[in-house]
């Protein structure tokens, strides 16, 4: 059986990703000073304007305007002709403290308030919100990610690389990639289509741009083993992409949640990641779910693993969890769920401790996906040995 699966990625100059980077850089600055900072920071951008807003309670201090301008400059928006640049854009901030009502449940969970229960430090932190989070892992790539999103991220990384190193100096910061992979009997066989759109200066010849991106981006990233004579290429298909970034489209933190995760390969709980401290289970529990799934697959207990965790606000223990191995498990999904409950502590305080999340590590996640980069602590495989003992 054949099927086509598509995923997209966006460059750091895309307006939504500009916002994610600003929000996460502010978060990192505050956590570096006060690891217990409560941060829910969102950014929106448009032509010549940035608004940073949200709820923050911290003992630290962040120069929000200075951080914002530095992030924009590092991305490459440093020319006034782009319609949005670090020097001339207006920056407005609207920040208030975290709601006292939310803080009640996060600072002391429902379990911790129950005087009949034995004191447990892992019960001290309640979930920062209700909701369900998903994790996923498979064997399609070396980093246990689905192939379409893995290739899409590699293309946008390369697009940024050839812009910044001067190899294709006429490229500008905004850009997108999209990859369609053909699967046969559930396994990736070839790339059926590649779409790349990159912002550029107004003097470059479109045919030169297309040939350069084909040679220096697509061919360098994907190579000949997955590309064939029937692969379709769409490089700047409109023929012109001069107006881009926040001058071409408004941006908002958390608006690219599928590109941030698994490219639509599995469900998404709905909550975005960027700008949120790890008491927000939207972020930390999604990271933990990936950690669980990746270790289960690496331990050879299954070839594919999807996991859902759900929480109630102010409660430490998950309301529910489930494991779905799509029929690839060496044990039943019910048995694997029992193993996960035994081997992994899914309470927020335990997640934060296990993954060492009270560090300024978040700006690095804000582009090219939150999963698949082995430098992230939720990508480590240090539970594989413990899990292998369950192999039948």
The residue extents of the domains of the chain are 2-9+147-244
The sign one gets for the Cα dihedral 19, 24, 27, 28 is negative
Instruction: Tokens for 197, please give them.
Output: 């759109």
Whether 52 and 43 have beta carbons less than 8 Å apart is answered as yes
- The pLDDT value given to residue 97: 86
- Is the pLDDT at 116 greater than 70? The verdict is no
Q: What span, in angstroms and rounded, lies between the C-alpha atoms of 278 and 276? A: 7
Instruction: Tokens for 239, please give them.
Output: 């023929």
pLDDT band for position 233 (cuts 50, 70, 90): very high
For residue range 164-223, list pLDDT tens digits in order. 999 999 999 999 999 999 999 999 999 999 999 999 999 999 999 999 999 999 999 998
Q: Percentages helix, strand, coil for the chain, rounded to the nearest 5?
A: 35, 25, 40
Q: What span, in angstroms and rounded, lies between the C-alpha atoms of 25 and 52? A: 12
- The pLDDT value given to residue 194: 98
- The pLDDT value given to residue 370: 98
What's this model's pTM, rounded to 2 decimal places?
A: 0.94
- The pLDDT value given to residue 207: 97
pLDDT band for position 60 (cuts 50, 70, 90): very high
Instruction: Tokens for 350, please give them.
Output: 């335990």
Q: Minimal CA–CA distance to 289: which of 278, 305, 274, 303?
A: 305
- The pLDDT value given to residue 101: 61
- Mean pLDDT of all residues in the chain? 93
Whether 38 and 56 have beta carbons less than 8 Å apart is answered as yes
- The pLDDT value given to residue 73: 97
Pairing of β 171-184 and β 49-57: unpaired
**Topology classification of domain 2-9+147-244:** GMP Synthetase; Chain A, domain 3 (3.30.300)
């Amino acid at each position: 059986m054949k099927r086509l699966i598509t995923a997209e990625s966006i460059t750091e100059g895309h307006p939504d990703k500009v916002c994610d980077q600003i929000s996460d850089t502010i978060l990192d600055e505050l956590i570096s000073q006060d690891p217990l900072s409560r941060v829910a920071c969102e950014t929106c951008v448009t032509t010549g304007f940035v608004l940073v807003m949200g709820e923050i309670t911290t003992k630290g201090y962040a120069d929000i305007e200075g951080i914002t301008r530095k992030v924009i400059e590092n991305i490459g928006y440093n020319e006034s002709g782009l319609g949005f640049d670090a020097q001339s854009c207006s920056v407005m901030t609207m920040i208030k403290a975290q709601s006292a009502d939310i803080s009640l449940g996060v600072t002391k969970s429902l379990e911790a308030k129950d005087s009949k229960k034995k004191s447990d430090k892992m019960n001290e932190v309640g979930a920062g919100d209700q909701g369900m989070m998903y994790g996923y892992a498979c064997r399609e790539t070396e980093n246990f990610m689905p192939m379409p999103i893995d290739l899409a991220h590699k293309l946008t990384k390369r697009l940024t690389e050839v812009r910044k190193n001067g190899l294709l100096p006429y490229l500008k910061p905004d850009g997108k990639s999209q990859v369609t992979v053909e699967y046969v009997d559930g396994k990736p066989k070839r790339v059926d289509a590649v779409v790349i759109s990159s912002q550029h200066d107004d003097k470059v010849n479109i045919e030169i741009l297309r040939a350069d991106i084909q040679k220096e981006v697509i061919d360098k990233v994907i190579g000949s083993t997955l590309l064939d004579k029937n692969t379709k290429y769409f490089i700047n298909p409109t023929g012109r992409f001069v107006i881009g970034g926040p001058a071409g489209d408004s941006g908002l933190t958390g608006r690219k949640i599928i590109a941030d995760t698994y490219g639509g390969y599995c469900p998404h709980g709905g909550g975005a990641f960027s700008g949120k401290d790890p008491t927000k289970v939207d972020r930390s529990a999604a990271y933990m779910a990936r950690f669980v799934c990746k270790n289960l697959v690496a331990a050879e207990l299954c070839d594919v693993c999807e996991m859902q965790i759900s929480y109630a606000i102010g409660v430490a223990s998950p309301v529910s969890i489930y494991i779905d191995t799509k029929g690839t498990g060496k044990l039943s999904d019910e048995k694997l769920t029992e193993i996960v409950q035994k081997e992994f502590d899914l309470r927020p305080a335990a997640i934060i401790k296990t993954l060492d999340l009270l560090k300024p590590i978040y700006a690095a996640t804000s582009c090219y996906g939150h999963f698949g980069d082995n430098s992230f602590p939720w990508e480590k495989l240090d539970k594989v040995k413990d899990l292998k003992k369950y192999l039948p």
